[in-house]
Structure 1
Amino acid sequence: MDQRRSQDSPRREPIRSPGLWIGMAVIVLAGVPFYLPAGSVHPMLLGLPYWMAISVLFTVLFAAFVSWICLRRWNVVEPEEQAAARDGGEMR
């Protein structure tokens, strides 16, 4: 899994990025279909009310977004681990 992180890249923590928080908030708010008419269950999509299909879609989108953040935007390798990997030795 080291191919996803560059050993020379600085330590990054996406928790400090307001854009990622805004993206997560938008996905969560879009996944709660409060903007649809009250009491509506029609039309049906694959046998499910369309509000449920919207919720499931945005739940999967949220999981994909958080996975992308963890895999691509987060460099969690500590400096000691980087030094050990560079020297070819093990950490103590």
Structure 2
Amino acid sequence: MNQTRKEPIKNGKLWIVFGVLFAMITPWYFPESFGEILIYGIPLWAVIIIIGSMLLSAFLSYVLKYHWMLEEEKEEAEQKGAK
């Protein structure tokens, strides 16, 4: 990616995805019947939280790699521009 990076805090789309993923890992809104449904002995609500946690971790890694402007990158860009 050779495009200019903005801080992720200014990107509304990223915040929407964060909100959805955080809602996915919050068990308070699950119906009580989710505790009765088992998948390989694990309640359905726990499976949803585990999957949501993995997706949140993957999304955070993506944001840090492709959307976060690090100080080292700024310094490298300035050094290349000075040459």
Short-chain TM bin: 0.7 to 0.9
> Which one has the largest radius of gyration?
1
Deviation at 1:11, TM superposition (A): 4.0
Residues 1:44 and 1:14: Cα distance change in structure 2 (over 3 Å)? same
Q: Root-mean-square deviation (CA), in Å?
A: 2.1
State the alpha-carbon separation in 1 of the partners of residues 41 and 19 from structure 2.
29
| Deviations 1:10-64, CA, capped at 9 Å, x for gaps | 3421111122111101111122233322264222112211110000000001111
State the TM-score, normalizing by the size of structure 2: 0.76
**TM-score in terms of structure 1 length:** 0.70
Is 1:27 the counterpart of 2:21 in the alignment? yes
Unaligned 5+ segments in structure 2 are none
Query: Aligned residues, how many?
Result: 80
Tell me the percent identity: 28
Question: Which is richer in helix?
Answer: 2
Gaps of 5+ in 1: 88-92
Runs of 4+ in 1 over 3 A off after TM superposition: none
